Amino acid sequence: MEPVRSQKGFSLIELLIVVSIALIIAGFAVPQYMTALRSYRIAGDARTINGEIHLAKMRAAANFTWGRVYFDLDNNTFVSQLWCKTATPPCTAPDVWMSVAVGGPQNLSGDVSFGFGSQTAPPPDTQATLALAATCKAGAAGDPAGGSNEPGNTACIMFNSRGYPVDDLHATTAEDAIYITDGSAVQGVTVSFTGMTATWRASDATTWYRH
């Protein structure tokens, strides 16, 4: 005959102890996880912007026209555009900017927006003064950098057909940059005279490092 074996589980106090330990561990882990997640989001947005700038540069050279990345600062979106010299497809009209991104403008992550927060100085050997790229021009009479300002709050990084960044006067420039922030961290993408880009992350109000 089998002996009767007593079956004993965990007591309520033991369960409470285990749950308390788990909550304490979670209390340390969750803030670190959220910080890491925010860092990944803004870093991913900076890499995406950098890639879009390179695409605009290559498209301008490939199509023998001007190209730009159009940043909508109010809606936190950005999109590549080509300058249409004629109405030849895919362009439907001459002397207009045409968006060429597949699927429409790209969005920044939910907690990320354009701006540089409390930063006061640009990354080293880049801009003379910390600032976003110049306001986008609508283009007029065959001049992609002419005409009135585009409606809304915008910034544009533009390239000529040789892949050099240019300003509203068609002169090459090293003042083009775009910055994003999640309210805590700040990252940026700058463009040199040659069209080379660099991504940056701020460590304090005046210090940047390549990222």
DSSP letter for each residue of 129-151: S--PPPPPB--BTTBTT-SSBPS
Q: How far is CA 104 from CA 32, 98, 110, 133, 147, in A?
A: 34, 11, 17, 21, 24
49 lies in a domain? yes
175 lies in a domain? yes
pLDDT confidence band for 107 (50 / 70 / 90): very high
pLDDT confidence band for 49 (50 / 70 / 90): very high
Q: What is the 3-state secondary structure (H, E, C) of 73-104?
A: CCCCEEEEEEEECCCCCCCCCCCEEEECCCCC
Of 54, 71, 66, the C-alpha closest to 134 is 71
pLDDT confidence band for 161 (50 / 70 / 90): very high
For position 10, what pLDDT does the model report?
A: 64
Average pLDDT over the chain reads: 88
Q: Is 49 helix (H, G, I), strand (E, B) or coil?
A: helix
Q: How far is CA 176 from CA 29, 42, 128, in A?
A: 39, 20, 11
For position 89, what pLDDT does the model report?
A: 80
2 lies in a domain? no
Output the CA torsion sign for 53, 193, 166, 113. Answer: positive
**Range with the poorest average pLDDT among 7-16, 89-98, 195-204:** 7-16
For position 22, what pLDDT does the model report?
A: 74
For position 187, what pLDDT does the model report?
A: 96
Angle among Cα 37, 55, 113 to the nearest 5 degrees reads 35
Question: What is the tally of structural domains in the chain?
Answer: 1
8 lies in a domain? no
For position 196, what pLDDT does the model report?
A: 95
Of 157, 156, 167, 162, the C-alpha closest to 191 is 157
DSSP code at position 168 = T
| Domain at 46, CATH number | 3.55.40.10
- Per residue in 50-61, pLDDT (tens digit) is 999 999 999 999
Q: Is the pTM of this model over 0.85?
A: no
For position 40, what pLDDT does the model report?
A: 85
Residue 156: its H or E element: strand 154-159
Q: Is 198 helix (H, G, I), strand (E, B) or coil?
A: strand
132 lies in a domain? yes
